Amino acid sequence: MEEIERLEIRIEELREAVARSRRLRLAGFASAVIGPALIIGFALGLIVYSSTRVIAAFALAIGGMVLMGSSRSSTEELERALRQAETERIAAIDALDLVQVGERH
Which positions ≥6 away from 1 have C-beta within 8 Å? 96
pLDDT of the residue at 31: 94
* 35 neighbors 66 (Cβ within 8 angstroms): no
23-79 residue pLDDT tens:
999 999 999 999 999 999 999 989 898 899 999 999 999 999 999 888 888 999 999
* 38 neighbors 57 (Cβ within 8 angstroms): yes
pTM over 0.75: no
pLDDT of the residue at 83: 94
Query: Whole-angstrom Cα distance, residue 96 to residue 46?
Result: 67
What is the domain partition of the chain in residue ranges?
A: 2-94
Which residue did the predictor score with more confidence, 99 or 104?
Answer: 99
* 93 neighbors 4 (Cβ within 8 angstroms): yes
